[in-house]
Amino acid sequence: MRAGTGAGVTVQRTAAPGRVAAPWLALLAAPLSFGIGGPALVLADIARDTGTTVASATWVVTAFGWGISVGTPLLAGLLARRGVRGTLATCAVLVLLGAVLVNAHPTMAVVALGTALLGLGTAGLLACAMTLAEGARTMGLISAALAALGATGPLVGSLAGSLIDWRASLTLPALGLLALPVVLRRPGPGGATVTAPFDVTGAALLMALVTALVTIPHQPLPAAVAAALAAGALAVHLRRRPDGFLPAVLVRSPAFLLAAATTLFLAIVNFGLFYAAPVLLARQTGWSPAAVGAVMLWPYLLGGGLSWVVVAVTARLHLRTVAAGLAATVVAATLVAWTVAAVPILLVAFAAGSIAAASGQGALARHAAEAVPAPYRSPALGMFTLCYLLGTAFGPAIVALVLAT
């Protein structure tokens, strides 16, 4: 059966895939979160062994954030053209190669390249898990698993670093490959096959823009110039191909831009606080990294849990009201975290930032999708997610630079 996407793309529907149990899909997708939180408490060890500073060591997080940011739309495109089996095979190669590079040679360039490949591969594993998910309960389990592993990431990463070394902390996202044998045994995990030509130029320009943006905290002037050039070239390309990789209707929608910009801001602040938390807690308490990681569990698990309530409560509110309220919350959380020394208040601030960011991802995604015509809602959600994931690259790098001054 043929069905058009409405965005200048024709899709060929294949046979429905065999059902994969929800826990296996959660295992396939959720270890991605370890790539975000796992390095939080081992940056000093990475800096020592690679002969760099802690600020430079955040390149491993920036590279992973770049990987999942560009990997989300790119591998979603691969999924549409090659189906689940082909995408899973590609992602497995990327993840394994990334893990090999992380463990190959302790130089920052090689390690960062390895985490970038891990990010690319695990972004594709997440896309495949979402595609194979059947029903709201399965989607909910995947989301809950992502949040839970994100909250436990610093503790698990610290324990892996203590028991083995910091390379084990960076390789944790590869645990998603444990689900591959079960997922691949299911009959016919195909999906949709897109017959329209892939917008190679649009994808390349967007990748160039994202790459330049995530480099700004490390190399401000040249990266800003590169970002401006890439943005200009992308704007020209949008006029020539308005229904390409980045649909022009998205950048022409004020509501979509507000939702995307707000989620980017929330993510930057939240992931910045996430990486500032161990330093701030250690300064006030002198606790070990494992103890800090254990204490960080409750504010971030609480944030993920309460976000479901906040998303439901704000469902009928106007976009501007939701955006302003969530932005004000993370700003207040940041001010409290940087000015108050009491540990209980610090933890409340971290929880507030987590609640706002997680809630924004859910509440603002709906507004982003509804801001464009129905045929463009899928790419709108993809680009919205890209904006959120960019926060994983920006936040830790900015915080490391601030703490280093």
| pLDDT tens figures, 151-164 | 888 889 989 988 88
The reply to whether 230 and 124 lie within a common domain is no
The reply to whether 192 and 279 lie within a common domain is no
Distant-in-sequence contacts of 219-225, Cβ < 8 A, 24+ apart: none
Q: Evaluate if residue 12 carries a pLDDT over 70.
A: no
Task: Give the position of tokens 């993840």.
Answer: 95
The reply to whether 194 and 205 lie within a common domain is no
| pLDDT tens figures, 61-115 | 989 999 998 888 888 778 777 788 888 999 999 999 999 999 987 788 999 999 9
| pLDDT tens figures, 185-244 | 874 445 554 556 778 899 899 999 999 998 888 888 999 999 999 999 999 999 999 888
The reply to whether 101 and 192 lie within a common domain is yes
The reply to whether 56 and 170 lie within a common domain is yes
The reply to whether 143 and 71 lie within a common domain is yes
Give the pTM. 0.81
The reply to whether 189 and 257 lie within a common domain is no
Q: Evaluate if residue 402 carries a pLDDT over 70.
A: yes
Tell me the percentage of the chain whose pLDDT exceeds 70: 91
215 Cα distance to chain centroid: 16
| pLDDT tens figures, 335-383 | 998 888 888 999 999 999 988 888 887 788 888 888 888 888 878 878 8
Q: CA-CA distance, 204 to 216, in Å (whole number)?
A: 19
Residue 226, domain extent: 200-240
CB atoms within 10 A of CB 232: 12
Higher pLDDT, 293 or 6: 293
Q: How far is CA 99 from CA 56, 170, 219, in A?
A: 20, 8, 26
β-pairing, 10-13 vs 2-4, is antiparallel
Residue 96 backbone phi and psi in degrees, to 5:
-65, -40
DSSP summary character for residue 174:
G
The reply to whether 159 and 235 lie within a common domain is no
Length of the chain: 405
* Average per-residue pLDDT for the chain: 84
| pLDDT tens figures, 279-322 | 888 888 888 888 888 888 888 888 777 777 787 788 788 989 99
- Tell me which residue of 300, 262, 264 sits closest to 281, measured CA to CA: 300
The reply to whether 104 and 132 lie within a common domain is yes
**What pLDDT shows up at residue 133?**
77
To the nearest 10 degrees (0 to 180), the angle between helices 297-313 and 136-163 is: 160
Number of domains comprising the chain: 3
pLDDT band at 5 (very low <50, low <70, confident <90, very high): very low
β-pairing, 192-194 vs 2-4, is unpaired
**What pLDDT shows up at residue 18?**
55
Pair 386, 72: CB distance under 8 Å: yes
The reply to whether 15 and 151 lie within a common domain is yes
pLDDT band at 172 (very low <50, low <70, confident <90, very high): very high
**Helix, coil or strand: residue 319:** helix
The reply to whether 205 and 274 lie within a common domain is no
Q: CA-CA distance, 400 to 405, in Å (whole number)?
A: 9
Alpha helices in 176-253 (DSSP H): 180-185, 200-215, 220-240, 248-251
CATH number of the domain enclosing 28: 1.20.1250.20
Tell me the percentage of the chain whose pLDDT exceeds 90: 33
The reply to whether 21 and 70 lie within a common domain is yes
